[in-house]
Amino acid sequence: MRFRRSAVALVAVMALAGVSACNDSDTGSQNGDESLTKVSYLTSFNTFGREAYAYVAKEKGYFKDAGFDVTINPGSGTVDVLKLVAGGQADYGIGDFTATVITLGKQKLPVTTVGMVHQRSLAAIVALEGGSIKTPQDLPGKRIGDQPGSTNTVMFPLYAKAVGIPPKDTKFVPSPPPGLPALLASGRVDGIGQFVVGVPLVEKADSKKRKAVVLPYGEKLPDLYGNAIITRTDMAKEHPDQVKKFTGALLKGLQDTIDDPAGAAAILKKYVPNTDLQVATEELQLMKPYVKPDGFNGALGEVNPTRVQSIIDSLVDAEQVTKGSVTPADVVSIDLAPKG
């Protein structure tokens, strides 16, 4: 089976135009010594420390042992990852599960999730000590920098409902993600949309060395999953064994990453030389309890269908998707997800 390599530089609209998947032959070898199945993979967003597990799986030979030659490219957010995977520009990708449900409730893309990276959502609003945001009740009337369509922005109405504030009273200011920490440090916005693991990067960008104020969505919405593993629906249906092998290899890299954050950061730096080892290590240390929260005894990456339905119901209640527009079967291939 041969797959096209990712073309992440293409915008999502171009990715969808006239693209078809190449699934005509499967020459992958199990020991990785001969022909390997060429697979393209997108991170959820850029190449921050939180994405190290894919590079760990590549460096340690987990992908190769499973029969894959994997090209890793930086993603640019959940919605773009979904569109690129749907259009055949990538075979697998990572995206926030709740944002995926919202997107698929509005646009029927041929994608599905096959496992969870995070059992809790990483989404958050981040501010700095001494500023105007200390609690969720401070958010109305404030300016929040974030990329349009980001997980934090898309999910904010759900979070606002959970904390009892009107979502429309908080203004989201369109801002390029790389500049968000500096934008916050300069005081041009009151807060930024950020994953909780991004706190080390935010604090490093502040010349005044202020501590971050973090308002995690997961504290008020504990049922929300974080990032999920995404592939095309035709891949899941026609090549389930391949999907399971790929997911297993990726999750093996994830397990090693949370077991040894510093080692994973060092591997990431080998592939991404501008990686800040300290920041990447701290990100991965912060990520561990979201991969395996306290009290979670299931298999790494598992998906609970009852929980998926609960998330959909919450999104309907928050008017983020319309009732009946999406079902668990529309967003996840339960049979392909890891099981305990």
Token output for 180: 């968000």
Q: Among residues 157, 118, 80, 163, which one has the least CA distance to residue 307?
A: 118
Per DSSP, 164 falls in state: T
From CA 293, how far away is CA 221, in angstroms rounded?
A: 14
Q: Among residues 98, 130, 129, which one has the least CA distance to residue 220?
A: 98
CA distances for 247 relative to 85, 187, 250, angstroms: 15, 42, 5
For position 145, what pLDDT does the model report?
Answer: 97
In this prediction, residue 25 has a pLDDT band, given cuts at 50, 70 and 90, of: very low
> Residue 319 pLDDT more than 60?
yes
Q: pTM for this one?
A: 0.85
For position 308, what pLDDT does the model report?
Answer: 97
Token output for 64: 């190769």
3-state per-residue secondary structure call for 43-68? CCEECCHHHHHHHHHHHCCHHHHCCE
In this prediction, residue 134 has a pLDDT band, given cuts at 50, 70 and 90, of: very high
pLDDT in tens, 195-251: 999 999 999 999 999 999 999 999 999 999 999 999 999 999 999 999 999 999 999
pLDDT in tens, 87-127: 999 999 999 999 999 999 999 999 999 999 999 999 999 99
From CA 300, how far away is CA 116, in angstroms rounded?
A: 8
Residue 336: how many CA atoms within 13 Å on its side-chain side?
28
Determine the 3-state secondary structure of 299 from DSSP. coil
From CA 203, how far away is CA 205, in angstroms rounded?
A: 5
Contacts (Cβ under 8 Å, ≥6 apart) of 11: none
Per the DSSP assignment, residues forming a β-bridge with 336 are none
Per DSSP, 336 falls in state: G
What DSSP element (H or E) covers 287?
helix 277-291
Per the DSSP assignment, residues forming a β-bridge with 44 are none
From CA 323, how far away is CA 315, in angstroms rounded?
A: 9
Q: From the CA atom positions of the chain, what is the Rg in Å?
A: 19
Strands 92-96 and 227-232, bridge-based pairing: antiparallel
Query: E-strand spans in 101-179?
Result: 111-116, 123-128, 143-146, 171-174
| Cα torsion 93, 98, 99, 104: sign | positive
For position 317, what pLDDT does the model report?
Answer: 87
For position 332, what pLDDT does the model report?
Answer: 98
CB 193 within 8 A of CB 153: yes
